[in-house]
C-alpha cells in the first residue's frame, strides 16, 4: 500500500515530538488527528499505527536503520514494515524486543530470563479493546445489543467485560455517551470485585485518578452506600464527576487530598479501602509503548518509596477488621507482592495478607495487573 507523503511527514513530526520533546504519544497522535481534518479513515489509521509501531520498536528500528533520527526511522519503517521483525535470533534480547537495557536487566533479575523474555514479547503485542458494561444502566446482553445496533460487534468475556471484535472508536457511540459502557481493560475490571464491596458500605478509593474503578465500585454497590474517591489532582476528580454523571453513579463523592489532614480525618471510617497505587505502568506498556522509554531506574525507586508511604499513611482509614485491596498495573514483583510483604512486616501484626493474584499478558489477553487483599487486625 502506497504511503502518502503528507502522512509520512506527519509521522516524522510526531516521532520527533515524542522522542526529542518528551511528549506523550497518545497526546501527540490525538493532536495531529484533530488538526488533519481532511484525512480519510485510511490515512488516519495509517498515521496512528505507524507512530505507535515506531515508538514500540524504536530500538530495533534504530539498530537496523543505523540511525535514531526521526526521518530515518519513519523511512526505514515504511520500507521494511513487513520484514523488520524477521530473523532476529542473533540480536540481544533488549534490542530484539526493543526495551531499555536496564529494564530488561531488572525484569530478568526479578522474574528469571525465561519469564522476562516472554513478558517482553507479550508487552509488544497489540492490546485488544475491552469494555465494561455499566450494570447500573444495562445488562451485558442489553449493552451488547445496543452496541450491535450501532455496528459495534463484541464478544462476552467474563463478569461485565466485552471484547471488541475489531478496533473502533466507541466513544462516539450512543451506548457510550448514554453511560452503558466504559472503556476498561478486562484485567483492570477484576480489581473492584476483588474488594467485594457490599451495598450500604462506606468504601474509599484513595488513588482514584480518572475514576474507572470508582465507577465500577458504585455499580457493584448498586448505588447504595457511599464511595469516596480521593486524589491529589483536582482535574482528575473533575473528570470523574463527569463520568459519574454519565454512568448514573449517584453514590460517588470526590475529595481532593490537599493536606495530610484529609487522610487523618478519615482514620478508622471505611469498611473497605482500594489503593490502586502509582506504579511503573509496566503492565500496560502494550497500550502506552512510550512509557518504557520515559521510565528510569530512579523513577522506579521513587515509586517504590511512594507505594510504601501510601500503604503506611492510608491503610489506617479502614476500620479494624476492614478490608484493603492494594493494586498495581505492573509486572514487577518488587512493586507487587514484595512491596506488600515489606509493609505487613513493618506493621508488626496490624495487617495480614489474605490472598493475591497476578494477571499477565503472557497467559491472557489482559494487561498486567497485580492485586492483594489485606485485612486490618481487630485490635
Query: What is the per-residue pLDDT across 37-71, written as a single tens digit (0 to 9) for each?
Result: 889 989 999 999 999 999 999 999 999 999 999 99
Burial 180-198 (b: 16+ CB within 10 A, else e): bbbebbbbbbbbbebbebe
Among 209, 330, 199, 347, smallest CA distance to 272 is for 199
Question: What confidence tier does 224 reach under pLDDT thresholds 50, 70, 90?
Answer: very high
DSSP state of 321: E
Cα four-point dihedral sign 307, 312, 313, 314? positive
Asked if residues 289 and 25 have their Cβ atoms less than 8 Å apart, the reply is: yes
Tell me how far apart the alpha carbons of residues 331 and 367 are, in angstroms, rounded to a whole number.
9
Domains, the chain, with CATH or none: 5-91 (no CATH), 130-183 (3.30.70.1170), 188-376 (3.40.50.150)
Is a pLDDT exceeding 80 seen at residue 161?
Answer: yes
Strand order in the sheet with 154-156: 154-156, 161-164, 130-133, 181-183
Asked if residues 158 and 190 have their Cβ atoms less than 8 Å apart, the reply is: no
As annotated, the active-site residues are 329
Is a pLDDT exceeding 80 seen at residue 137?
Answer: yes
For range 74-97, the mean pLDDT: 93
For 190, the grid coordinates are 477484576
DSSP 149-189: HTT--EEE-STTEEEESS---GGGSHHHHTTSEEE--TTGG
Q: Are strands 318-328 and 270-276 parallel, antiparallel or unpaired?
A: parallel
Output the pLDDT for position 282.
97
End-to-end CA distance of the chain: 68
For range 339-364, the mean pLDDT: 96
Phi, psi angles (nearest 5°) of residue 266:
-100, 5
Alpha helices in the chain (DSSP H): 5-19, 25-35, 41-56, 58-65, 70-80, 93-96, 101-111, 113-122, 140-149, 174-177, 191-195, 212-220, 234-247, 260-264, 291-294, 297-314, 337-347
Calculate the alpha carbon distances from 4 to 8, 30, 58 in Å: 6, 19, 22
Report helix, strand or coil for 203.
strand
pLDDT tens, position by position, 287-341: 999 999 999 999 999 999 999 999 999 999 999 999 999 999 999 999 999 999 9
Is a pLDDT exceeding 80 seen at residue 134?
Answer: yes
Is a pLDDT exceeding 80 seen at residue 379?
Answer: no
Residue 74: which region, alpha, beta or left (left: phi > 0; alpha: psi -120 to 50)? alpha
Question: What confidence tier does 1 reach under pLDDT thresholds 50, 70, 90?
Answer: low
Q: What is the pLDDT of the chain when averaged over all its residues?
A: 95
- HSE (side-chain half, CA atoms, 13 Å) at 294: 17
Tell me how far apart the alpha carbons of residues 295 and 316 are, in angstroms, rounded to a whole number.
31
Output the pLDDT for position 254.
97
Asked if residues 76 and 53 have their Cβ atoms less than 8 Å apart, the reply is: no
- Provide, rounded to the nearest whole percent, the portion of the chain with pLDDT above 90: 93
For range 117-124, the mean pLDDT: 97
Output the pLDDT for position 87.
86
DSSP state of 129: P
Amino acid at each position: 500500500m502506497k504511503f502518502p507523503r503528507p502522512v509520512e511527514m506527519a509521522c516524522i513530526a510526531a516521532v520527533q515530538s515524542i522522542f526529542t520533546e518528551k511528549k506523550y504519544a497518545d497526546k501527540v497522535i490525538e493532536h495531529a488527528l484533530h488538526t488533519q481534518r481532511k484525512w480519510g479513515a485510511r490515512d488516519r489509521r495509517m498515521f496512528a499505527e505507524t507512530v505507535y509501531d515506531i515508538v514500540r520498536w524504536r530500538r530495533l528500528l534504530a539498530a537496523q536503520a543505523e540511525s535514531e533520527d526521526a526521518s530515518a526511522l519513519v523511512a526505514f519503517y515504511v520500507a521494511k514494515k513487513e520484514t523488520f521483525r524477521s530473523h532476529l535470533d542473533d540480536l540481544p534480547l533488549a534490542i530484539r524486543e526493543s526495551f531499555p537495557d536496564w529494564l530488561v536487566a531488572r525484569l530478568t533479575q526479578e522474574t528469571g530470563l525465561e519469564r522476562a523474555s516472554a513478558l517482553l514479547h507479550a508487552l509488544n503485542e497489540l492490546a485488544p479493546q475491552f469494555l465494561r458494561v455499566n450494570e447500573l444502566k444495562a445488562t451485558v446482553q442489553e449493552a451488547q445489543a445496543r452496541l450491535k445496533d450501532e455496528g459495534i460487534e463484541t464478544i462476552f468475556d467474563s463478569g461485565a467485560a466485552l471484547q471488541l471484535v475489531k478496533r473502533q472508536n466507541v466513544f462516539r457511540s450512543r451506548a457510550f455517551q448514554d453511560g452503558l459502557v466504559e472503556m476498561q481493560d478486562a484485567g483492570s475490571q477484576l480489581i473492584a470485585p476483588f474488594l467485594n464491596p457490599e451495598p450500604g458500605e462506606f468504601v474509599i478509593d484513595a488513588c482514584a485518578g480518572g475514576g474507572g474503578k470508582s465507577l465500577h465500585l458504585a455499580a457493584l454497590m448498586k448505588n447504595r452506600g457511599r464511595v469516596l474517591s480521593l486524589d491529589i489532582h483536582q482535574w482528575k476528580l473533575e473528570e470523574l464527576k463527569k463520568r459519574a454523571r454519565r454512568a448514573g453513579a449517584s453514590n460517588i463523592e470526590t475529595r481532593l487530598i490537599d493536606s495530610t489532614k484529609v487522610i487523618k480525618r478519615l482514620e478508622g471510617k471505611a469498611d473497605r479501602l482500594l489503593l490502586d497505587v502509582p506504579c511503573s505502568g509496566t503492565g500496560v506498556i502494550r497500550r502506552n509503548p512510550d512509557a518504557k522509554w520515559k521510565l528510569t531506574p530512579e523513577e522506579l525507586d521513587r515509586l517504590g518509596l511512594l507505594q510504601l508511604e501510601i500503604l503506611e499513611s492510608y491503610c489506617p482509614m479502614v476500620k479494624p477488621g476492614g478490608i484493603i485491596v492494594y493494586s498495581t498495573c505492573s509486572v514487577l514483583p518488587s512493586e507487587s507482592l514484595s512491596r506488600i510483604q515489606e509493609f505487613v512486616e513493618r506493621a508488626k501484626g496490624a495487617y495480614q495478607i489474605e490472598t493475591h493474584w497476578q494477571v499477565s499478558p503472557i497467559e491472557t489477553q489482559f494487561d498486567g495487573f497485580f492485586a492483594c487483599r489485606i485485612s486490618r487486625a481487630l485490635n
